[in-house]
Amino acid sequence: METQSWEVLVHKKQLEAAAKIPIEWRLPEKLTKISEMSGINVLDVPRQSGILTPRQLEITEEWDATDLLRKMHCQELSAYEVTEAFCIRAAIVQQVTRCLTETFFERALQRAKDLDEILCKTGTLVGPLHGLPISFKDCFNIDGIPSTIGFTSFIKNGPLSSTSPAVRILLNLGAIPYVKTNVPQTMMAADSHNYIFGRTINPHRSNLTAGGSTGGEGALIAMRGSVLGVGTDIASSIRIPAVCNGIYSLRSSADRIPYGGQTSSVRGGLAGIKPCAGPMATSVRDLELFMKLVTNADPWQFDSSALFSPWRTVTPKSALRLGLILEDSHFPLHPPVLRTLTRATKTLEAAGNQIIPLHTLLMRNACTLAFRMFSMDPALTPFKHIAASGEPTIPALASTSLHHGYMPYGCAPLTLEGLYDLNEEPNHLKEEFRDRIMQAKVDAIIMPGYQGTAQPHDLSGFVPYTVLCNVMDYPSCIIPYGKANKSADEAFIRRVNYKPPYVADDIEGAPCCIQLVGRNMHDEELVKVAELVSETLML
């Protein structure tokens, strides 16, 4: 039998995906023709569409996960009406951003009905997340649902017969999975683009990336098609989409949230940098809600690699001592990022917090080390998956090659000697960073999340300010704060080599943010710092 071309497989998959959106949830064609170059803002499309009722708009726009759970648990809202509202809104968001891979609305609505019936008959909640719709990055496996993770060669795998431990825990807690979200081909790029589901665009400006590799989640949550999603992070993949889309996210310490049982793009067996799973949300308290409930579920029972590390109760401080990492000169901050960080630190100081400058050039070194580690597989496994179907590589992959002009360093030698040397390097970086933190006696670090805002498609490249935490295995949190404004940003323009280039008109109105970094396994303290910082910045 003749093998079908990748284009035919993709076309069939796209038709199947489109057919899963009910006719009554479909947008008119004039709203779905979104140019990837035009810079259109689509945040208001769900409201403008007229598809959502006033109550459904209220459900999806007015409350975070914590509020929704409270209302459902006192039966002010039903699980069914909340789930239906988010299913409809997610379907609308998909049509203007291409943020979803798999939708299973009927299955989610049936679970919501079942949960409502249990609560009505017994007066008992299935768990603390009873009735809450939660979205998942495409790599998380759910029984009966495919996980293609951006490879057309994975289409033939069809629906899976397993469920990732993280998903199983959330199901036990009462959550309702309803969609999976888009990722880049290989899951190693800052643009969520593949040839199956297309390119996820940034809802703030269609000419900008939604980030990666959890970019589908970023766009979906930014448009309130979800209030709580689960992503993964080995090279900033939870945080860069938060940077790009103006949402909250937490890269947790590795192994606190079970990572096993996912569909992977890479070859196993290389210790290197540990990947982790974590939450993306619309508030800091929802990040803590997720972490507390999952870590308290003893995830080792579901995943042998997960640590037993129940969430600790931490007394919040009334004033903070924050270390400030402003910039690595090799990756100068774009004007809106420099302005945002300057404004944030001044506001925090005015509120009685101390800001302690920390001078370090670790970002460039950590970034080089990380991408050398990612390149150690002699089999080039992700590219074998690409070659298996004959599809081309996505353009964004060229922006993170170590032969790139921004990072003119070769890969580490593919030898045992080279591997030993590579594995030793993080220890030196960790010790230097620990020493600086101890000398400064800080509660946490405030720093950029990325040298710029969301960038035009395929130009994001290296992510030194976030991948540092992957190398160190430090928890870090993205907090949205303001937007690019070329008139306000003009005073912060300098004669430096911006990487990638700074073009004010391209990013006008793009979200800005700050990043907070804490000590390994001190996620609890970091979340409390994030809460106080958010309150101080009046977010």
Is the distance from CB of 250 to CB of 287 less than 8 angstroms? yes
What strand order describes the sheet that includes 133-137? 100-103, 176-181, 133-137, 228-233, 276-281, 248-251, 476-483, 511-517, 444-447, 321-324, 354-357
DSSP type of residue 202: P
Residues in the chain: 539
Among residues 164, 236, 237, 534, the one annotated as catalytic is: 237
Among residues 78, 135, 137, 236, the one annotated as catalytic is: 137
- Is 213 among the residues known to form the active site? yes
- What angle is formed at CA 452 by the lines to CA 451 and CA 455, rounded to 5 degrees? 130
Whole-angstrom distance, CA of residue 350 vs CA of residue 80:
46
Tokens of 393: 């590589």
DSSP type of residue 24: G
Whole-angstrom distance, CA of residue 424 vs CA of residue 421:
5
Whole-angstrom distance, CA of residue 246 vs CA of residue 211:
11
Amino acid at 131: G
Q: How far apart are the first and last CA of the chain?
A: 59
Torsion from C-alpha of 474, 480, 484, 488, nearest 10 degrees: -100
- Is 476 among the residues known to form the active site? no
Radius of gyration of the chain (CA): 22
Is the distance from CB of 440 to CB of 326 less than 8 angstroms? no
Q: Which of 184, 207, 208, 205 is CA-nearest to residue 196?
A: 184
Q: Regarding beta strands 321-324 and 248-251, do their DSSP bridges make them parallel or antiparallel, or are they unpaired?
A: unpaired
- Is 162 among the residues known to form the active site? no
> Can you list the alpha helix ranges (DSSP code H) found in 441-485?
464-472
Q: Which of 275, 273, 267 is CA-nearest to residue 425?
A: 273
Tokens of 199: 């390119």
- What angle is formed at CA 47 by the lines to CA 132 and CA 224, rounded to 5 degrees? 30
Among residues 78, 164, 213, 389, the one annotated as catalytic is: 213
Is the distance from CB of 115 to CB of 107 less than 8 angstroms? no
DSSP type of residue 27: P
Neighbour-count burial for 218-250, b at 16+ CB within 10 Å, e otherwise: bbbbbbbbbbbbbbbbbbbbbbbbbbbbbbbbb
Q: Which residue shows structure tokens 């035919």? A: 8
Tokens of 200: 């996820």
CB-facing half-sphere around the CA of 60: CA atoms within 13 A:
31
- Residue 50 burial by CB count (10 A; 0-12/13-18/19+): exposed, middle or buried? exposed
Torsion from C-alpha of 23, 26, 30, 32, nearest 10 degrees: -130
Is the distance from CB of 217 to CB of 247 less than 8 angstroms? no
Q: Which residues are catalytic?
A: 137, 213, 237
